[in-house]
Amino acid sequence: MKLPRTPSFRLDGKRALVTGAGRGLGLAAAAALADAGAHVTLVARGAGEITEAAEAIFAAGGAASPLVLDVLDPAQVAATLAELPSFDILVNNAGTNRPKPFLEVSVEDFDAVLDLNLRAAYFVAQAVARGMVGAGRGGSIINISSQMGHVGAVRRTIYCASKHALEGLTKAMAVDLAPHKIRVNSVGPTFIETPMTAPFFADPAFRASVLEKIKLGRLGQVEDVMGAVLFLASDASALMTGSAMVVDGGWTAD
């Protein structure tokens, strides 16, 4: 009897682009892809953290390079990426949050969150997808969403709006890009301990309220998301597109 073979999680020979790659989930995603054999280009607005991250990946035996790029500038993104070799994988990770009660959200708050979480993600994906289509090899686009793309929460109206929109964008992109063999999926983490979330968890009451909703009883770590990103980047998920992979410890289970 000939047994079926498990699809490979290896990414040897692949080129990956990760935005917001200097810290937190972006750095974790870059490390996971590099460990699987991909050459990873780390994107951020400043050189410091991504240069250090690229050096750390190289020291660990991987291949990585920093790319200073303002993802809030679609013209700069399009022009820069058009000059680079095409990518096989995109992790659309750059994002932000400004938690406020609905009645206190300003136009500036709204624009800041939606511009980075949605507008920038849209046009980075468009620029990368153009390269993928031109190369004709297909590819995998992974939008880093959130459990808040599936539920609502107090003080999270703008963030929820941006992530619900990103989930819809993921599905529509998947339909548009399927003829080019480009898969588009999202990863929706729960609260992960990162530099961005650290100030929130300094409030004991907030920390307790979060732990009460995570059924597995602990905060997420960046390592919890690395496997999901690697799975969606690799041939192990070859038939998945337009899907949402929620890594939330059971938050959205009820």
Distance CA 161, CA 192 (A): 19
Annotated catalytic, 122? no
Helix %, strand %, coil % of the chain (to 5): 50, 15, 35
Count CB neighbours of 60 within 10 A. 11
Query: What are residue 35's phi and psi, to 5 degrees?
Result: -65, -25
From the number of C-beta atoms within 10 Å of its C-beta (0-12, 13-18, 19+), residue 98 rates as: middle
Distance CA 166, CA 38 (A): 25
Catalytic annotation, pick one of 87, 159, 191, 231:
159
Catalytic residues: 159
